[in-house]
Amino acid sequence: MEESKYTIKDMSVKFNLPSSTIRYYEEIGLLEDVEHLNGYHRIYNNLHVDRLNAIECFKKARLPLEEIKAFFEYEKDIKRNSKKILEMMKTQKEKTLSELEKLKAGFEHIEKKIKYYSVVDEAVKKKKRIPSWNEIIGG
């Protein structure tokens, strides 16, 4: 079975990433062994697709590019580095949980603002007194 080949444009469309980002990933070593035709045109394969999928997943989990690169380096010798990988993932899990708590608090504040300004908007429409924040939301 012949391996699929992709141009940088194919990869850009597939991952909704600018070509410059894909080239940057290659430059910093996140994408390795990219074939260059005539020293210019890049050709990617299924391994690169898998790698970009992993990069995108890690980015969604807010893992910095330096740590993503370290992960892939550790993975090259998984027997020696399994503990490092596990610690990296546990640390990122804790950071992500902390971020989620901050987002939740921000979301709850936005919901209070929506509640308050919905009442304000109704008061304005009905030409009534605008209630205070404490009257609607409380202290």
* 138/43: higher pLDDT: 43
Above pLDDT 90, what percent of the chain?
92
CA distance 71 to 47: 16
Digit-coded pLDDT (tens) for 83-120: 999 999 999 999 999 999 999 999 999 999 999 999 99
Render pLDDT for 45-95 as a digit per residue (tens, 0 to 9). Answer: 999 999 999 999 999 999 999 999 999 999 999 999 999 999 999 999 999
Distance CA 86, CA 71 (A): 10
* pLDDT at position 1: 56
Closest by CA position to 87, among listed 71, 64, 65, 69: 71
